[in-house]
Structure 1
């Protein structure tokens, strides 16, 4: 017998999707901050950018979850 396939996307897949598409501008801003300060890293040096990126990811993943939408790679 085959196991039933999940009709929902795993949280990791949702996170991966949104980190590269939905939240790409926030990810880019955070990445640029890290690159600009990598030789002088200190606590909270990119906190603002990281928080914006995190907020975007949480909002996007939760919104998709509440809407019940699925990724194009999901199988019915």
Structure 2
């Protein structure tokens, strides 16, 4: 079944698009932090990177396409 408008995206699809394009640098920084600290897991190890990634996603999801 085709959506009525090909430009309209579901919220989940918009989130996926933004997490891989708009917020790619923040996602990469968070991923690198997780990779660097996965053997020495401690609370809030990558808190700053996660906060920046989350803020980017929240801001991107607010915008209308």
Q: What TM-score does the superposition give when structure 2 sets the normalisation length?
A: 0.86
User: How many equivalent pairs are there?
Assistant: 63
- State the partner residue of 1:49: 49
Q: Structure 1: where are the runs of 5+ without partners?
A: 70-76
Q: Kindly report structure 1 stretches of 4+ aligned residues shifted beyond 2 Å.
A: 3-8
Which has the higher relative contact order, 1 or 2, with Cα contacts under 8 A spaced 6 or more apart? 1
TM-score, length-normalised on structure 1?
0.75
Q: Which one has a bigger Cα radius of gyration? A: 1
Q: How does 1:28-67 map to 2 (within 5 A)?
A: 28-63=28-63, 65=64
Residue aligned with 1:19, SS:
helix
What is aligned with 2:10?
Answer: 10
- Aligned-pair CA distance for 1:45: 0.5
User: Deviation per CA, 1:30-74, whole angstroms, max 9, x where unpaired?
Assistant: 0000000000111110000000000000101111x3xxx2xxxxx
Task: Structure 2: state its 5+ residue gaps.
Answer: none
